[in-house]
Amino acid sequence: MAYYDYILVGSGIAGLYTALRARQHGSVLIITKGNIDDCNTKHAQGGIAAPIGQNDSPELHFQDTIAAGDGLCNVEAVRILANEAPDRIADLVNLGVPFDTVDGKIALTTEAAHSRPRILHAGGDATGEHIEITLSKQVRLSGTRVLENCLATELLVENGKARGVRTLDCRTGSINEFECGSLILATGGAGQLFRFNTNSDIATGDGIALAFEAGAEITDMEFFQFHPTALRMPGVPPFLISEAVRGEGGILRNVEGRRFMPDYATEGELAPRDVVARSILYEMEKTGSGNVFIDVTHLPAHVTTTRFPHIYRFCLDHGLDITRDLVPVAPAAHYMMGGIKVNTWGETNIVGLFATGEVACTGVHGANRLASNSMLEVLVFSKRIIEKTRQGANTGASAPGQQQEVHHLQSQQHAGKMALSSPSVLNVQTLLWDRVGIIRNREGLDTAADTLAKWQGLLPQPTDRPSYELANLILTGRLITEAALIREESRGAHFRTDFPRHSTDWQHHVVFTHG
């Protein structure tokens, strides 16, 4: 059986950046179920946040992040994020990421809930793509072994310690095992759980399912961020219309052409994402329409085309000139704030198992992610993972000092009644969107929980990538639904009409373990 000092599962910014760090200290294997460039990173348009501006500071970035997290951030983790951000940006510059500049200085823009312009971007609205291309090129140059079209199907854990991973070659069907000193999950999120989402097809909750089955703690799964503005056109897949479009002055209008955000929030279009997403839903309901519009026609055309070349080109390819036409948008699932519970060194409760990126829950985002903190989180905590492995004192500790309520995922039946269809990706996506989406209530959550539990019982043993992905989606969907049922309040991205307010009784985290 082949042995590596480090095994990385996933090839987005989290997997690639961590691999480059690890490569300096030992042998590295990257396992990815698609090819090296299949990930959510390249869809990240807005940019990456860091307090590097003249009138900015780590303290201000810390305060904005804490405010966005709505009472559930891990304060220590947020402090680390803000303090280490400038050095991690320097790492990307040294690796060759071509951030946009003005007069020789890195250009900074504003996004919702940031008190200062601190969003770096590359190629206008192609930041994630530039970072992904730069890192994948560096990984190839480093000689790191990359196994493409290779799906991780089981984490190998013995006596409480991760020792490796079992894989399925998606082309040949062969099964292999690889051993390692440190196993790092960087598999991304689970946006494919929802009918409308901005994620890559690979985002099927694989890492959550793998870790949960292996005995890792999973936390904060009720907090799933829905991006307020994804392109909504018949026959066109949802395409992200970046937060930065509103940051640059884009106005939200209903189908009657009226600007509506000031009716819902004093910050207008720059209110927190959850507020904007819900406001758009309410406005769609009021006007009986399937979308609202974002309007940038008042901006100089050259500003729009140079600042948002990808968005401009994508819309133009579908018959829409955004310099002259209103852009039809509606919310879509975007980012998973919960995940595998880790401490500030990326350690899980299993010795030798780490997690980074969207699959991990460092506690930085709390109940609601501040825009553009996700890629920064990857850089800061991935570096810390490699530091920790170098110290040789991996104890498998989960995050300290946070109140939590531990639950086991049971096979219990809920009160929800629904004619049971067969388990399929489309049926899962429709169920989650309708019952566990932006606005929730007990009846809908009960129905979803009952249906998902039954579907899980109907699934045969997976044999190929599609069947593993369906199983992973259903398990991850159950964790989100059960967590949303347990949390009887509204906080951050989790909104329940039957419990529409904050409650001090819920100033803690919901954690699941396999039981």
Nearest residue to 12 (alpha-carbon basis) of 202, 215, 277: 202
Say what angle helices 127-142 and 75-95 make with each other, to 10 degrees.
70
**Cβ neighbours of 269 (radius 10 Å):** 23
Tell me the C-alpha to C-alpha distance, in Å, between residue 420 and each of 18, 411, 442. Answer: 43, 16, 19
Nearest residue to 287 (alpha-carbon basis) of 251, 331, 329, 256: 256
Q: Which DSSP string do the residues of 391-439 spell out, in sequence order? A: HT--------S--EEEEE------S---------HHHHHHHHHHHSSSS
What's the half-sphere exposure (Cβ side, CA atoms, 13 Å) at 29?
20
Residue 372 is encoded by which pair of tokens?
């553009």
Residue for token digits 């699932």?
Answer: 333
What's the half-sphere exposure (Cβ side, CA atoms, 13 Å) at 492?
29
SS3 annotation, 333-401: EEEECCEEECCCCCECCCECEEECHHHEECCCCCCCCCCCCHHHHHHHHHHHHHHHHHHCCCCCCCCCC
User: Going along 144-271, which residue ranges are E strands?
Assistant: 145-147, 150-158, 161-169, 175-185, 218-219, 224-231, 251-253
The CA distance from 442 to 490, in Å, is: 12
Three-state DSSP at 73 gives: coil
With a CB cutoff of 8 Å and minimum separation 6, the contacts of 143 are none
Residue 328 is encoded by which pair of tokens?
């039809």
Q: What angle do CA 380, 113, 488 make, to 5 degrees?
A: 90
Torsion, CA 480, CA 486, CA 490, CA 491, rounded to 10 = -60
The CA distance from 32 to 149, in Å, is: 6
Residue among 273, 278, 307, 491 flagged as catalytic: 273
Nearest residue to 22 (alpha-carbon basis) of 132, 139, 134: 139
478 is known as an active-site residue:
no
Task: Provide the β-strand partners of residue 406.
Answer: 511
Q: Are 394 and 385 in contact (CB under 8 A)?
A: no
Q: Which residues are catalytic?
A: 273
